[in-house]
Structure 1
Amino acid sequence: MEDPAVSPRADARDALAACALCALLAGAAAGGTAAEPREPRRTAAAPQASRTAPGAAQAPQWAAAAPQAPRRVAAPDTAAQTSEQAWTRARALADRQRYDDAGAVIRRALGRAPDDTDLLWLEAGVEGWAGRHRVAVALYERLVERHPEMARDLRKDLAAERLAAGDVTGALRDLDLRLEEAPEDLDARALRAEALSQADRLAEAIAEYDRLLAASPDDPDLARARARDLGWMGRHREAIAAYGALLERNPRDEEARLGLAQNENWAGNHRVAARLFEAMLADGRSDPEIFKGLAYARYWSGRPDLARPVLNVYRAREPDDLEGRELDAMLEREWSTGALAGYERSDDTDALRVMTTTLEYRFAPGERTMLSALWRRDDLKDPGGFLHAVRGGVRVDRLWSDAWSGRAAALYLDPGRGRDADAIGEAALIHRPLDRLRIELGVAKDLVLTRTSLARNLRVRQGAAAVEWRAGDRLTLRAGERLQLYSDANRQSRFSAGARQVVRSSRRLEAALTFDGDYLRSHRDLDDGYYDPAWYVEFGPGAEFAWKPRDGWTLGLVARTGWQHEKGSSSDPRYDLTATVELPLGRRLGLGLEGERSSSNLSTASGFEQKRWAAYLSTRF
């Protein structure tokens, strides 16, 4: 239940992009004057052709600018008068959002005057306002083909419909042509900035918005779009400042309130974000994005029990939303009745093979408690023989508040070969005084997982402390200390530290650079089967990638390299490469696969290089 290094922005993009498109067009068409704040989804399905938008019933401007095809004037014939009346009637219906009725009026009039360009233009616009953007694109393209003299004037409206239909490349092509023809067209520049945003060319989009705002510094639509793109780039602090400036000018700017809450959430300030989302709901706002944002804020702040009711409201209204489905799946996987079965095998360069079978059944007796029944068998084989150990027991995970949670496990251990049974387990307490800060303390008792150590019936008692701090929007720092006391009277301490910097985050891909280091120190070298050097150190850089090629699928790759050095030996290069696959098998089953190869002395208890693979099958009931 870790915070994301940078929040997923993709669904917010889908929810706001069409609205921003309408707002930018309206603001730019008005010459950069301030516009009234809009509800984020009010115009989401109706990106409007700039010259024929509902509410501005006027003749297409290309007609006034084309002497060879003037608008109808005095003494029209009967057919012309009928077409003029049909245009006015259809436009009035479209202004009242009666798009199908408007289309019917236009089609009847075109039956009498099939080449009336005013009606053909309006027909394409009405289809776009109705949300049938692909149809609108086809109509505009047909109109340009039949009347190439209109191409210059139709180009911007065609680009808007291409963008709304998902053809970002085509929209940018048309807009670049339009701006070659009319560089002063701020309407087209605003639309091009939106297209750059949707093309994930965010740096270019922000540069375009900066130029537009230099010409129209008080335009709230442009300022909101720029702030939105800052958030999509992961520059959340700048986005928060930009939205704050908008709210200083207009405290009732509801889009800015939503954007501020979203960026506080993505920046890791989940409790602050939750209060902002709740304030919007208390004010009577009902935008679905508010419910989704609040659900994620609660989940990321460690309160899945509070996330579920809000998510249910959102899912009822937006059942097909990708991020809503993803959060639902995470809550189901972590906090619902289910089972997991797994098998893992590792081989090290000292000919030790460890084969592990695990079974787990979990159920939630309450909103804040999860109980799990656990069973595990370890089979260990090396040239010295074969041994196995079996353990079974229960674990409880508990949430007390936003700041406190914990877990505990009690297990019965059968070490095999007639040796006395034992009790092992763990307990951990997690404190989050701030959203960005996580402190964990834990104790445990376990067996030492090598064949030699198991043959000597060794146990290890552990105490650990760890701190994780999200130092920036994309930077996370961590440090931890672990003390290990072995039943052969040996002891060890291990200090670990690391940093993780997200360098790329989008709907489908996240990439991060890391730097990690470990220092292990042993009291004595007893050769009891586990790795116990006088001291050992390793450090080096790494990279992490997570790719989601489709809904429910995740492909991960973690690569680390660097140096390792043990007292009394030379320094050697080290590497670690881990690949993971997670994919759904229908609605209730999930499959996880892992593979690892590592030369680190810390990758196994025995201190040798290893190769490892694992497979897990999970289900929920």
Structure 2
Amino acid sequence: MHFRLSQAYSAANQPDLALSAIERSIELEPENLKYLKAHAQLANWVGKSGIAADSYEKILSLSPDDDSALLNFARSSLWSGLLDKAAAAYQRYLRKYPEKKEVYIEHAKTETWRGNYPTSLDSLEKYRQKFGESKDYLQEKARVLAWARRPSKAIELILPLLEDDPDNYEVNHLRTIALHYANRPRDAVESLAKLRQLRPNSQETEDTKRFVMNPLRPSVTFTSRFYTDSDDLDHSNSSIKGIYSLRPETFLEAGAETDSLHSKEGSGLDPIDGGEHAWHRRAWLAIKHRFSPKIAFDSYLGGAVAEGKNRPTYGIGLDFQPLDNLNLRLERDSGFYVISPRTVSLGIERSRNDLRSYWEFDLLNAVILDLGYDTFSDDNRRWEVVLSPRRSILRSRKFNLDCGLRGWWFSFDKDLDNGYYDPKFYQSYMVTGFGYWKISDNEGVSVVLDLGILKDSDMGRFHIGWGGNVEGSVELYRDIMLKIGGGIIHNLRQETAALRAYTAHIMLTMYF
């Protein structure tokens, strides 16, 4: 009776009532395949794809060879955001039906939404080999490349598609994303205006607006950090920073910070003239400007006070991105070396020079290389090399995992007693892990772990060291982001050479 009533409601174009009626039928006969299929179809009709996916999953448990239910389960899971289940179902279906061309496109879209870009491209390549380069293929490949931060290649595919259909919302959306990642903020804003014209009330348009415009909005960030270690050094830092966009390519920044440092008298980290405390304060003004998609420049100028000593501080940086997958940054800055009460009380200044490269040689692997050379006002010098290859291991709906290695080498010219760690030579070799639990698009928890061996010029052999950091990001309101984190370091010999150290931080950013 309830099943016939559901059919009547469906024929009368009343899907909500039809769904309620079929649910009563299933309560009486929970393993009736006819009822379950009708329930899934009605649930999709009213936009309850998650309920539909549950019904199709139940059908598959009762009838594992129902391939129509398998495909519908994949689609319902995709629409409801159950991306891991959708991806597995699409793969299972394609193994049985490798000639179903539209399923390759749907599978590729699922993997793209999971952030699993290499698998998405593999599925599209199978499509191309079997069926050629259709419009659907080109659009989906553009989607993968845009979100995988290969904007130049994505735009090459997008432009011909827009010539054929300039009001295609999906293609215009991909163009906006690609322009954002191509470091073309002004063009991205103009492309966003097109999206708002095509679908002004769409949630996707609103999400894209936040994605493009948030980096351009004025913001104020409050940060507090705390460090304590086994050498009884405590270091707290509080700062405020404001950013204002003059135009999409140019930003002004103003900020100030205060450092409070404490160590026990006689520890070797204490102030040179006695006592246990030292203070450092700094304020600055900065400008950042992007000259082109490949070149950006930033510089700051300010002043600092350390235990009564006044010094100017400055920094300059140049970003160069010759390729989508290669970033280079060259920077120099100068200021007080705020490591311990002794370095502050001595007024030691450091001039830091750094070259950093980030190269993603494919969508799975990346290499980070840091080269540094520092000079100090106490006539010391330091060079540093950090090499960090890493590989994407897992991309899923809720969790991402990367693993890698890190080699770190540095050396000081002199071993002084000025309150900082300055070995003749230091080397460490670590296995690294990077995990991220996704709560929502803007919220999640990241975990970084290091484990390996290290040795300096005063050690007779290598020792084991490890460390870990965790940070949670929470969106309090649409315009307020909160980040809270902490970490532990064991025998990694940071700037003070402490055996153990603990860190904590909190950061609050408000957008206007």
The bucket for the TM-score relative to the shorter chain is: 0.7 to 0.9
Aligned partner of 2:123 among 224, 239, 262: 239
Q: 1:510 to 1:411 in 2, by over 3 A?
A: same
Aligned counterpart, 1:584: 475
Aligned counterpart, 1:398: 289
Q: Deviations over 1:104-133 (max 9, x none)?
A: xxxxxxxxxx9995x853643775xx8x5x
Aligned partner of 1:300 among 181, 193, 197: 181
CA shift for structure 1 position 606:
5.5
Aligned counterpart, 2:488: 597
Which is strand-richer, 1 or 2?
A: 2
Matches for 1:389-468 after TM superposition, within 5 Å:
389-417=280-308, 419=309, 421-449=310-338, 450-468=340-358
Instruction: Give the 3-state SS of the residue equivalent to 1:548 in structure 2.
Output: strand
Aligned counterpart, 2:267: none
Q: 1:152 to 1:530 in 2, by over 3 A?
A: closer
Q: 1:247 to 1:484 in 2, by over 3 A?
A: farther
Quote the Cα distance in structure 2 between the aligned partners of 1:203 and 1:588: 33
Instruction: Give the 3-state SS of the residue equivalent to 2:313 in structure 1.
Output: strand
1:543 aligns with 2:427: no
Q: 1:151 to 1:445 in 2, by over 3 A?
A: same
Aligned partner of 2:172 among 281, 291, 315: 291
Aligned partner of 2:7 among 121, 131, 134: 121
Quote the Cα distance in structure 2 between the aligned partners of 1:606 and 1:151: 69
Q: 1:433 to 1:550 in 2, by over 3 A?
A: closer
Q: Deviations over 1:321-349 (max 9, x none)?
A: 37953x54455553221212222221122
Aligned partner of 1:262 among 140, 143, 167: 143
Quote the Cα distance in structure 1 between the aligned partners of 2:479 and 2:443: 14
Quote the Cα distance in structure 1 between the aligned partners of 2:96 and 2:12: 28
Task: Could you tell me which runs of 5 or more consecutive residues in structure 1 were left unpaired when the two chains were aligned.
Answer: 1-113
Aligned counterpart, 1:522: 412
Partners of 1:524 and 1:534 within 8 A in 2: yes
Aligned partner of 1:481 among 371, 374, 377: 371
CA shift for structure 1 position 307:
2.5
Farther off after superposition, 375-384 or 282-291: 282-291
CA shift for structure 1 position 243:
5.0
Partners of 1:360 and 1:374 within 8 A in 2: yes
Matches for 1:180-191 after TM superposition, within 5 Å:
183=65, 186-191=67-72
Instruction: Give the 3-state SS of the residue equivalent to 1:549 in structure 2.
Output: strand
CA shift for structure 1 position 509:
3.0
Instruction: Give the 3-state SS of the residue equivalent to 1:257 in structure 2.
Output: helix
Instruction: Give the 3-state SS of the residue equivalent to 2:84 in structure 1.
Output: coil
User: Aligned letter for 1:444?
Assistant: D
Q: Deviations over 1:337-391 (max 9, x none)?
A: 1212222221122222222121112111111001101111212222233221221
Aligned counterpart, 1:277: 158
Partners of 1:302 and 1:402 within 8 A in 2: yes
Q: 1:529 to 1:116 in 2, by over 3 A?
A: closer
User: Aligned letter for 2:10?
Assistant: A
Aligned counterpart, 1:137: 19
* Relative contact order, higher structure (CA 8 A, sep 6+): 1
Partners of 1:544 and 1:556 within 8 A in 2: yes
- Identity percentage of aligned residues: 17
Farther off after superposition, 151-160 or 494-503: 151-160
Aligned counterpart, 2:102: 221
Instruction: Give the 3-state SS of the residue equivalent to 1:357 in structure 2.
Output: strand
Q: 1:139 to 1:116 in 2, by over 3 A?
A: closer
CA shift for structure 1 position 261:
0.6
Q: Deviations over 1:306-328 (max 9, x none)?
A: 32333354467375637953x54
CA shift for structure 1 position 433:
1.1
Aligned partner of 2:192 among 305, 308, 311: 311
Q: 1:548 to 1:312 in 2, by over 3 A?
A: farther
Matches for 1:80-159 after TM superposition, within 5 Å:
117=4, 120-121=6-7, 123-124=9-10, 127=13, 132=15, 135-142=17-24, 151-153=32-34, 155-159=36-40
Instruction: Give the 3-state SS of the residue equivalent to 1:200 in structure 2.
Output: helix
Quote the Cα distance in structure 2 between the aligned partners of 1:413 and 1:434: 38
Q: 1:243 to 1:396 in 2, by over 3 A?
A: farther
Q: Deviations over 1:118-171 (max 9, x none)?
A: x853643775xx8x5x5543343456779x7x9554543433344552122222
Number of residue pairs matched? 489
Q: 1:309 to 1:246 in 2, by over 3 A?
A: farther
Matches for 1:16-31 after TM superposition, within 5 Å:
none
User: Aligned letter for 2:123?
Assistant: A
Q: 1:602 to 1:476 in 2, by over 3 A?
A: farther
Matches for 1:58-73 after TM superposition, within 5 Å:
none
Aligned counterpart, 1:39: none
Partners of 2:246 and 2:252 within 8 A in 1: yes
CA shift for structure 1 position 618:
2.0
Instruction: Give the 3-state SS of the residue equivalent to 1:379 in structure 2.
Output: strand
Partners of 2:67 and 2:93 within 8 A in 1: no
Partners of 1:246 and 1:256 within 8 A in 2: no
Q: Cα RMSD (Å) of the superposition?
A: 3.1
Q: 1:199 to 1:295 in 2, by over 3 A?
A: closer
Instruction: Give the 3-state SS of the residue equivalent to 2:94 in structure 1.
Output: helix
Q: 1:412 to 1:312 in 2, by over 3 A?
A: same
Quote the Cα distance in structure 2 between the aligned partners of 1:567 and 1:517: 16
Larger-gyration structure (1/2): 1
Q: Normalization by structure 2: what TM-score?
A: 0.85
Partners of 2:108 and 2:121 within 8 A in 1: no
CA shift for structure 1 position 470:
1.0
Farther off after superposition, 223-232 or 336-345: 223-232
Partners of 1:603 and 1:609 within 8 A in 2: no
